[in-house]
Amino acid sequence: MPRAMTAVEKILAAHAGRKQVEPGETVWARVDWCLANDITAPLAIEQMQAMGCERVFDPERIILVPDHFLPAKDVASARQAQVLREFARKQGIRHYYEVGRMGIEHALLPELGILQPGQLLVGADSHTCTCGALGVFATGVGSTDLACAMALGELWFRVPATVKVEFTGRLAPWVGAKDLALFLVSRLGTDGANQLALEFGGEVVADLPLDGRLTLCNMVVEAGATAGLVPAGGWRSSPGAQLEAWLRWDVSQLEPQVARPYSPADVVAVHEVAGTPVDQVVIGSCTNGRYLDLVAAAEILGGRKVHPRVRLIVIPATQRVYRRALEEGLIQVFVEAGAAVSTPTCGPCLGGHMGVLAEGEVCLATTNRNFRGRMGHPDSRVYLANPAVAAATAVAGHIAHPEEVVGSGPHRGPGVEVRR
């Protein structure tokens, strides 16, 4: 009798042409999509050429998004993008998105509407796991593995065991998906989910808008997970499926969370670090640069000014988000508050450009990593928080709970994403 399988196992079995798979097995599986950016794609292209492969397996299934150092910050980054551009043209790759038409890859893909529940996406970037919010098995791979996938249309996978994570209760004001993600990483540690898939459920996750679910899945890799998944469509775990663990937390009393330098797992409630002076605040990235993230930030910043000692950088995650924010007046709110608003880019998240930190500087960001030197000088410090905390911090000049800036009002939102 076939064993009951988890959602992730079902997806991998279907793509491996198998009736069932088990955790720990290594399988060859067909891939639906291959993703790469301006850092990782040139390496994959080089490896393809070294393999003697002249054509990708399907130009309609390759997605190239130069987003890390674009718009080009120097000649080297311009050359990286040029390699992608020329490769896309020669291969006939339609899904190539550059400056003016692009977005941060993990925010852009859900917007494109090309991913479907039950599909398999591999990307040469660790935060490819973001798209698990769409019911996709999405995982990061190295550039050499991506070269194989682009050439052959298949790749090897070690079937991960599944941990079911349920968040119950009702979120407090100004608490959202980023806080759930930081809370989870703090409980599991940065390697507590190695070789595992995290499947999310519970009424709190059910109430999250898609923006919030994407944020939640984005950060599973910070706990070492292979993938995160919010079940969708018919791709759901069967009753009796074998689980590595089943974790449940009532998060009704959860406060906004802040990760301290130098680990996304060193997490405390915002009141424990409130008052810490900052030099810079960044609102954006593949974690929190979506439309509802900007709405939450604008709710704090409207009619207020960024503290004179603080640089506030706001980066919409995609051109579509930028355009909507412009049409609805959010960009005006940011500019009038004293923020710098950028075209979509990963930029400061990885210390690339648009917000690199000097020695001794402190930043609070809505990004996903705060390792030593991540955003600039090794002796700079980065705190991680949700967009509302980031906006409040920019106004206060120090790490602050949103209520310190706006008072305790009727606000309540699913994932800091505002319900109006």
| Overall average pLDDT of the 143-161 stretch | 97
Together in a domain, 205 and 343: no
**Number of other residues whose CB lies within 10 A of the CB of residue 152:** 15
Residue 1 confidence class, pLDDT cut points 50, 70, 90: low
Kindly state whether residue 193 falls inside one of the protein's structural domains. Answer: yes
Residue 420 falls inside a structural domain:
no
**What mean pLDDT, rounded, does the chain reach?**
94
Rounded to whole angstroms, the maximal C-alpha distance in the chain is 68
Q: Are both 145 and 271 inside the same structural domain?
A: no
Q: Is the pLDDT of residue 143 over 80?
A: yes
Whether residues 190 and 228 fall in one domain: yes
What is residue 36's predicted lDDT score, i.e. its pLDDT? 96
Tell me, yes or no, whether 235 and 349 share the same domain: no
**Do 329 and 211 sit in the same domain of this protein?**
no
Mean pLDDT of 83-92: 96
Which pLDDT score is estimated for 2? 78
State pLDDT tens for residues 203-261: 999 999 999 999 999 999 999 999 999 999 899 999 999 999 999 999 999 999 999 99
Give the residue numbers spanning the domain of 134. Answer: 7-250
- Shared domain for 180 and 269, answered yes or no, is no
pTM flag (> 0.85):
yes
Residue 2 within any structural domain of the chain = no
Which tens digits make up the pLDDT trace of 23-82?
999 999 999 999 999 999 999 999 999 999 999 999 999 999 999 998 888 999 999 999
Specify the pLDDT at position 409: 55
What confidence score (pLDDT) does residue 8 get? 98
Q: How do residues 354-384 score in pLDDT, each as one tens digit?
A: 999 999 999 999 999 999 999 999 999 999 9
What average pLDDT does this structure show over 94-115? 94
User: What is the distance between the alpha carbons of residues 181 and 264, in angstroms, rounded to a whole number?
Assistant: 10
**Residue 5 above 50 pLDDT?**
yes
Asked, for residue 376, whether it belongs to a domain, the answer is yes
**Do 143 and 28 belong to one domain?**
yes
Residue 200 reports pLDDT greater than 90? yes
User: Peptide bond preceding 96: is omega within 30 degrees of 0, i.e. cis?
Assistant: no
Q: Are 270 and 223 members of one domain? A: no
Among the candidates 222, 250, 278, a domain finishes at: 250
CATH classification at residue 148: 3.30.499.10
Last residue of a domain, one of 235, 250, 265: 250
Is omega for the bond preceding 387 within 30 degrees of 0, making it cis? no
237 and 363 together in one domain: no
Range 294-314 burial, b when 16+ CB lie within 10 A, else e: bbbbbbbbbebebbeebbbbb
Q: Give the Cα separation of 205 and 212 in Å (integer).
A: 8
| Final residue of a structural domain among 215, 250, 285 | 250
Regarding whether 261 and 363 lie in a shared domain, the answer is: yes
Tokens of 129: 């796991």
Question: Which pLDDT value is given to residue 282?
Answer: 98
Say if 418 falls within a structural domain.
Answer: no
Q: Are residues 244 and 379 in the same domain?
A: no
Does any domain span residue 64?
Answer: yes
pLDDT cut 90: percent of the chain above it: 93
Mean pLDDT of 320-339: 97
Residue 420 has pLDDT above 70, yes or no: no
The stretch 110-119 carries a mean pLDDT of 96
Q: What pLDDT shows up at residue 410?
A: 46
Q: Sorting pLDDT into bands at 50, 70 and 90, what band is 407?
A: confident
List, in order, residues 6 or more apart from 82 with CB less than 8 Å away: none
Whether the per-residue pLDDT at 419 is higher than 60: the answer is no
Are 223 and 371 contained in the same domain? Answer: no
Q: pLDDT at position 413, please?
A: 44
Instruction: State mean pLDDT over 3-12.
Output: 96
Could you tell me if residue 161 is inside a domain? yes
User: Looking at the domain assignment, is residue 142 inside a domain?
Assistant: yes
261: left (phi over 0), alpha (psi -120 to 50) or beta: beta
SS3 string, the chain, reads: CCCCCCHHHHHHHHHHCCCCCCCCCEEEEECCEEEEECCCHHHHHHHHHHCCCCCCCCHHHEEEECCCCCCCCCHHHHHHHHHHHHHHHHHCCCEECCCCCCECHHHHHHHHCCCCCCCEEEECCHHHHHHHHHCCEEEECCHHHHHHHHHHCEEEEECCEEEEEEEECCCCCCCCHHHHHHHHHHHHCCCCCCCEEEEEECHHHHHCCHHHHHHHHHHHHHHCCCEEECCECCECCCCCCCCCEEEEEECCCCCCEEECCCCCCCEEEHHHCCCCECCEEEECHHHHCCHHHHHHHHHHHCCCCCCCCCEEEECCCEHHHHHHHHHCCHHHHHHHHCCEECCCCCHHHHCCCCCCECCCCEEEECCCCCCCCCCECCCCEEEECCHHHHHHHHHHCECCCHHHHHCCCCCCCCCCCCCC
Q: Return the pLDDT at 411.
A: 52
Count up the domains in the chain and report the number: 2
